[in-house]
């Protein structure tokens, strides 16, 4: 036992704990092997070694194992202790072999190593077949072909070898199983810790983003009210600054939204408020939110209105988020004086929305990763700032509302994002 007042590195302790399992196995099998051989030595006689010397050897091995595993304090455990014990066992067996049948047995002894390694490599049923075949070979060789020995001695030697084979086989399998258990428990511990960290992280992001949301919304409201008043009352420079502040507050709001969605998605807490949504109104109002940002960048936002009312089934605030993310990207990743058009159409049972820009485009190698969490295209140091969350969140939101999202892009020519949503009904004549 480790004294309570001793400080020991947990990694060292874990390592010792791991090897203590092997120590227990080695110890148990030593006692079992010696005890079995001791019993057999009563049945078997006429060995090329006298019984007393054999017992002395057994006694020595027993006492050695006892001192090694029980008397030496646990804190000195670890790989070296197990390994040295293995080396010593080989020497003891060698001594035993030397005084019995010499090199013939030694060869057989190394034959057992096959069994030991088969224990680690093979499934139990195949492993048993290897052990059985070796046992059969031992019996046939021992009983029928070892003519150098008297028949009685042959029987004794065969029994001893079968016992040794059994011990080695079970020993090998136990060591292997202990190793497997150690690995599995290590893995599941790691998995458990990773999951806990993930839950805490999601909870943290969820709380922070929701706490941030209220003051940011208030800030946006004040800024928009100031902008309305300010146009007439403020100097052009001050009004310009106010506009830029408003834009950045808008970005901040959408970042906080993305973060809050991300934590909801990851913790399976995302709830949708599905209802009938008028797509014409949704697209129109979202586009008007961006009129100032677009004008600021001298990007032309073109709305291709649909002359029939399109009603879809979805969560209006989440759809607004998706659309806002895609329009924001289209503006961000387009040069000044370019055009962005937004429109929608009916395609069978779905409404299809498209956002087309004539911006930088998406390189081929980035296309497969675009919807991954935190993925950003690495264009150059002048790449607009972002988090790589927008498209991941957009895809999750669209798919959870029963739609699909994809894009078509060519570097230098532009990108078109499409997404679909289930149609509810058709109202003619708007
Ligand atoms: P963010 O814009 O915050 O980096 P997104 O998930 O919205 O994260 O986008 C991921 C990446 O996809 C961006 O880094 C950007 O390079 C690329 N991208 C998204 N939309 C467009 C677009 N319309 N044109 C070109 N690249 C785009």
**Can you tell me which atom of ligand 1 is nearest the CA of 371?**
6
Mean pLDDT, range 51-72, rounded to an integer: 87
pLDDT for the residue numbered 14: 65
> Ligand 1 center to residue 258 CA distance, Å?
14
Give 124's pLDDT tier (boundaries 50, 70, 90): confident
Give 3's pLDDT tier (boundaries 50, 70, 90): very low
Residues of the chain with pLDDT > 70: what percent? 84
Residues of the chain with pLDDT > 90: what percent? 29
**pLDDT above 50 for 1:** no
- The neighbour count for residue 53, using CB atoms within 10 Å, is 12
pLDDT tens readout for residues 199-249? 888 888 888 888 888 889 899 999 988 888 887 888 888 888 898 898 888
pLDDT for the residue numbered 277: 95
**pLDDT above 90 for 312:** yes
**Can you tell me which atom of ligand 1 is nearest the CA of 383?**
16
**Can you tell me which atom of ligand 1 is nearest the CA of 325?**
7
Give 417's pLDDT tier (boundaries 50, 70, 90): very high
Give 13's pLDDT tier (boundaries 50, 70, 90): low
**pLDDT above 70 for 95:** yes
**pLDDT above 60 for 2:** no
- Regarding predicted confidence, which is higher, 111 or 288? 288
170 token code pair: 């079970």
Is ligand 1 within 6 A of the CB of residue 333?
yes
Give 426's pLDDT tier (boundaries 50, 70, 90): low
Mean pLDDT of the chain: 83
> Ligand 1 center to residue 202 CA distance, Å?
23
Rounded to an integer, what distance in angstroms lies between the CA atom of residue 318 and that of residue 218? Answer: 20
**pLDDT above 50 for 365:** yes
SS (H, E, C) the chain: CCCCCCCCCHHHHHHHHHHHHHHHHHHHHHHHHHHHHHHHHHHCCCCCCCHHHHHHHHHHHHHHHHHHHHHCCHHHCCHHHHHHHHHHHHHHHHHHHHCCCCHHHHHHHHHHHHHHHHHHHCCHHHHHHHHHHHHHHHHHHHHHHCCCCCHHHHHHHHHHHHHHHHHHHHHHHHHHHHHHHHHHHHHHHHHHHHHHHHHHHHHHHHHHHHHHHHHHHHHHHHHHHHHHHHHHHCCHHHHHHHHHHHHHHHHHHHHHHHHHHHHHHHCCCCCCCCEEEEHHHHHHHHHHHCHHHHHHCCCEEEEECCCCEEEEEECHHHHHHHHHHHHHHHHHCCCCCCEEEEEEEEECCEEEEEEEECCCCCCHHHHCCCCCCCCCCCCCCCCCCCCCCHHHHHHHHHHHCCCCEEEEEECCCEEEEEEEEEEEEEECCC
> Ligand 1 center to residue 371 CA distance, Å?
9
Is ligand 1 within 6 A of the CB of residue 85?
no
Mutate which of 256, 323, 376, 378 for ligand 1? The one with the most ligand atoms within 8 Å of its CB, which is: 376
pLDDT tens readout for residues 172-197? 888 788 778 777 777 777 788 888 88
Mutate which of 377, 406, 411, 412 for ligand 1? The one with the most ligand atoms within 8 Å of its CB, which is: 377
pLDDT for the residue numbered 394: 95
**pLDDT above 50 for 163:** yes
- Regarding predicted confidence, which is higher, 387 or 303? 303
pLDDT for the residue numbered 5: 45
**pLDDT above 80 for 141:** no
Rounded to an integer, what distance in angstroms lies between the CA atom of residue 59 and that of residue 228? Answer: 99
pLDDT tens readout for residues 254-299? 888 888 888 888 888 888 999 999 999 999 999 998 888 898 889 9
pLDDT for the residue numbered 324: 93
Give 390's pLDDT tier (boundaries 50, 70, 90): very high
Mean pLDDT, range 250-257, rounded to an integer: 86
**pLDDT above 90 for 361:** yes
């Amino acid at each position: 036992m480790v004294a309570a007042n001793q400080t020991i590195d947990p990694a060292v302790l874990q390592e010792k704990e791991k090897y203590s399992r092997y120590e227990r196995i080695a110890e148990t099998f030593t006692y079992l092997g010696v005890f079995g051989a001791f019993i057999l030595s009563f049945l078997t006689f006429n060995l090329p070694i006298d019984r007393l010397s054999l017992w002395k050897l057994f006694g020595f091995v027993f006492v050695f194992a006892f001192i090694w595993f029980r008397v030496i304090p646990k804190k000195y455990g670890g790989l070296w202790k197990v390994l040295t014990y293995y080396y010593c066992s080989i020497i003891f067996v060698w001594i035993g072999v030397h005084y019995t049948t010499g090199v013939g047995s030694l060869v057989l002894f190394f034959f057992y190593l096959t069994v030991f390694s088969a224990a680690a490599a093979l499934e139990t049923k195949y492993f048993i077949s290897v052990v059985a075949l070796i046992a059969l070979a031992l019996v046939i060789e021992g009983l029928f072909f070892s003519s150098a020995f008297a028949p009685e001695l042959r029987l004794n030697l065969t029994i001893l070898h079968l016992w040794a084979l059994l011990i080695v086989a079970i020993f090998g399998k136990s060591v292997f199983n202990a190793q497997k258990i150690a690995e599995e428990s290590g893995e599941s511990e790691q998995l458990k810790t990773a999951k806990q960290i993930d839950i805490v992280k999601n909870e943290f992001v969820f709380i922070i983003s929701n706490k941030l949301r209220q003051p940011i919304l208030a800030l946006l409201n004040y800024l928009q009210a100031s902008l309305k008043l300010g146009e007439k009352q403020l100097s052009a420079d001050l009004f310009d600054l106010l506009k830029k502040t408003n834009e950045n507050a808008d970005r901040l709001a959408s970042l906080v939204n993305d973060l809050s969605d991300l934590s909801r998605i990851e913790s399976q807490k995302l709830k949708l408020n599905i209802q009938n949504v008028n797509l014409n109104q949704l697209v129109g109002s979202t586009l008007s939110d961006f009129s100032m940002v677009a004008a600021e960048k001298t990007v032309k936002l073109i709305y291709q209105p649909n002359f029939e009312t399109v009603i879809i089934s979805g969560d209006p605030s989440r759809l607004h988020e998706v659309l806002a993310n895609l329009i924001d990207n289209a503006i961000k990743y387009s040069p000044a004086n370019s055009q962005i058009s937004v429109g929608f159409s009916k395609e069978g049972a779905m409404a299809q929305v498209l956002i087309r820009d004539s911006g930088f485009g998406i390189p081929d190698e980035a296309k497969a990763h675009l919807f991954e969490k935190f993925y950003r295209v690495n264009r150059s140091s002048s790449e607009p700032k972002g988090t790589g969350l927008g498209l991941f969140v957009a895809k999750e939101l669209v798919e959870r509302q029963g739609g699909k999202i994809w894009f078509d892009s060519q570097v230098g020519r532009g990108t078109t994002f499409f997404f679909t949503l289930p149609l509810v009904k058709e109202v003619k004549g708007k």
